[in-house]
Chains A and B, each alone.
Chain A
């Protein structure tokens, strides 16, 4: 064990490694430091919550689907393709 494992994680480091933390790819020793810091830092607790909220909201963004005209054109193309296939 070296000094790294005993060194407290500061807020500035936490905001840089938070994605690794949420992905579960943070090294064990750093995850321990992360959790230890979080336990006593309301601002970082808020930061983590904000990140989680962001991901949740992103999942609610609606996606734009294709224009009806495009779908029609695709169906026509499909039929042409199908009809040109021998042996079907």
Chain B
């Protein structure tokens, strides 16, 4: 079976160099991935400090495991899977109440993408299911050139407040730009489940920004 993410020749080279004790190769890997690893860890654990510890443990596990790494997945996928497992273990040890059931079974009922009150009822004679009032435009506030520091802070806080499963998927897909398949592989999710979590997370964030812009009108 062809691996989903074949390693680039650059990656193969890096792994070989790492196996041979090349410090520059290690530094390169650490610099490339630590920010994303930390963001993933923060979706599981309660603090910056603990997230750093988890990332550190992950890199140590990479070193001890590198001799056995067979290259059947990309090195990135392998590293992130180690991180995900360590972060989950740490979270459980901290007795932090994290609802992973959403990650396992996103078919559980959740809030609608938008408050149903904002739509006309199904029984409406002419426009069932349509917006009760026109949507306020954001244009101007959300344009890249003029988006304010405060807007980005609101977005960051909104992301931090998402349920963990949604936060992880939105962070990997939209903040870090990972393709869907990579997210599914690292988190052990089906594409459909990943999409449900992405949808819920994005819907909430849109609502957060909408509330912020409406308050600042």
Select one of B39, B63, B129, B195 contacting A20, CB under 8 A.
Answer: B195
- Could you tell me the distance in whole angstroms from the C-beta of A48 to the nearest C-beta in chain B? 10
B147-A57 in contact (CB<8A): yes
Complex Cα distance, B176 from A46, in Å, reads: 25
Question: Residues of B contacting A81 with CB < 8 Å?
Answer: 60, 63-64
B23 touches A78 (CB 8 A): yes
Q: How far is the CA of A7 from the CA of B137 in the complex (A)?
A: 28
In the complex the two chains form, is B198's CB within 8 Å of A10's CB?
no
Roughly how many angstroms separate A54 CA and B211 CA in the complex, as a whole number? 13
Is A88's beta carbon under 8 Å from chain B?
yes
CB neighbours of B174 from chain A (8 A):
54-55, 58-59
Tell me whether B152 and A57 are in contact (CB under 8 A): yes
Shortest A9–chain B CB gap in Å is: 9
Count of residues in B whose CB is under 8 Å from the partner chain? 60
A-B contact count (CB 8 A): 146
Contacts of B119 in A (CB 8 A): 10-12
- Cross-chain contact of B134 among A42, A56, A67 (Cβ < 8 A): A42
What class of interface size applies to chain A in its complex with B? 35 or more
A64–B39 CB distance below 8 A: yes
For the residues of B in contact with A, the DSSP-based class is helix
Complex: chain A residue closest to B210, CB-CB:
A50
A67 to B113, CA, bound (A): 37
CB distance from A3 to the nearest CB of B (A): 15
Q: CB distance A79 to B23 under 8 Å? A: yes
Task: Write out the residue numbers on chain A whose beta carbons fall within 8 Å of the beta carbon of B191.
Answer: 25
A15 within 8 A of B: yes
**Which of B26, B35, B131, B205: most chain A Cβ within 10 A?**
B131
Known contacts A19-B199, A81-B64; is A66 also within 8 Å of B34 by CB? yes
Known: A15-B203, A19-B202. A67 touches B129 (CB 8 A): no
